[in-house]
Amino acid sequence: MNSMSRGFSNLPPVVKNLLILNVIMFIAMFIGEKTGTLDLNAILGLYFPKSEYFQPYQVVTHMFMHANFWHLFMNMWALFMFGQVLEQVWGPKRFLVYYIVTGLGAALCHELVQGIQYANLISQITPAQLQQILDLEFGTYFTPDYSIPMSKLSLILNTHTVGASGAIFGLLLAFGVLFPNTQLMLLLPPIPIKAKYFVMGYGAIELYLAVTQPGSNIAHVAHLGGMIFGYFMIRYWRKTTKTLY
C-alpha cells in the first residue's frame, strides 16, 4: 500500500489531477445514477449542437465523464501509462495544452461528421417527422435501426457523447511519434510491438470501424480526431521551437 501511495504521489501534477478529477466525476455520476437524483452524463455529456439539450460547456465537460467503470478504467490506465512519460518530457503546461486541444479536436471531428449526417437526413424526412423526433421525451429515441432516417436522426439529436478517449488517443499518437521504437507488450496476443506500429495499427482499426460501423455507440471518428489534432500539434511545435522538449 505504501509503495502504491508513493507511486501515485510521484506522478507529474497534470496527470495526477486529471486522474483524480475523472474518478471524482465518475463517483458523482454513479451516486446520482443509483439514487435517481441526477443524471450527470446527460447534463455534462456532449450533444449535437442542433439538439435542444446541447449546452456550450458540454464541449469541455464531456471529456471528464465516462459511461461505465471499464470505460473509465481503460482511459485512465492509458493516461497513467503514456501521460506521465509525455508530461515529464514536455512539462505540465505543454502537456495540459496538448491534452485539452486533442480532446476538443476529437469532439470537433465527431460533431462535424454528425453535422454532415444531420444535413443528409433532414433532406430525407418531412417537417412533421422532424417534429415527432423533437417531441420525444428526454433520453428516448426511435428503434435504433441506423438504416431508418428517423431513427438515425433521433439518435443524433437525443444521445450524448462522453469520455476522455479523444485526448487519450492523442496521447497514444504522441507517444508513438516521440518514442517510435519503444517496445510495448500487447495483452492479446502477448507479443512485443514497437510503439509506431502499435499506433498505426490502432489508427487503421479506428478508421475501418468509423467507416463500417457508423451507428456504433463508440465514437471512432472522435478517436481519429484526437490522433489527427495531436499529429498536427506536434508538427507545429517542431517547426516553431528548437526542440520538441
Which residues share a beta bridge with 194?
Answer: 183
Answer yes or no: is pLDDT of 1 > 50: no
**pLDDT score recorded for residue 144:** 57
Higher-scoring residue by pLDDT: 136, 10: 10
d(CA 239, CA 234): 9
pLDDT of residue 123: 85
Alpha carbons 245 and 237: distance in angstroms, whole number: 9
* Rg of the chain over all Cα atoms, to the nearest angstrom: 19
DSSP 8-state secondary structure symbol assigned to residue 44: H
Domains and CATH numbers, the chain: 2-240 (1.20.1540.10)
Q: Over 60: is that where the pLDDT of 245 sits?
A: no
**Which cell goes with 103?**
480532446
Task: Please give the average per-residue pLDDT across 158-169, as a whole number.
Answer: 93
Of residues 229 and 187, more confidently modeled = 229
CA atoms within 13 A on the CB side of 186: 13
pLDDT in tens, 44-94: 999 999 998 999 999 999 999 999 999 999 999 999 999 999 999 999 999
User: How does DSSP assign 85-119, residue by residue?
Assistant: HHHHHH-HHHHHHHHHHHHHHHHHHHHHHHHHHHH
Query: Amino acid identity of 87?
Result: E
Q: Which residues of 138-177 are buried (b: 16+ CB within 10 A; e: fewer)?
A: eeebbeeeeeebbbbbbbbbbbbbbbbbbbbbbbbbbbbb
Phi and psi at residue 218, in whole multiples of 5°? -105, 130
Element (H, E) at 3: helix 2-9
pLDDT digit string (tens) for 119-153? Answer: 988 888 888 877 777 777 665 555 556 567 777 88
pLDDT of residue 3 exceeding 70: no
Q: In the prediction, which pLDDT does 141 show?
A: 59
Average pLDDT over the chain reads 87
* pLDDT for 203 beyond 50: yes
pLDDT at position 7, please? Answer: 64
pLDDT value of position 27 = 97
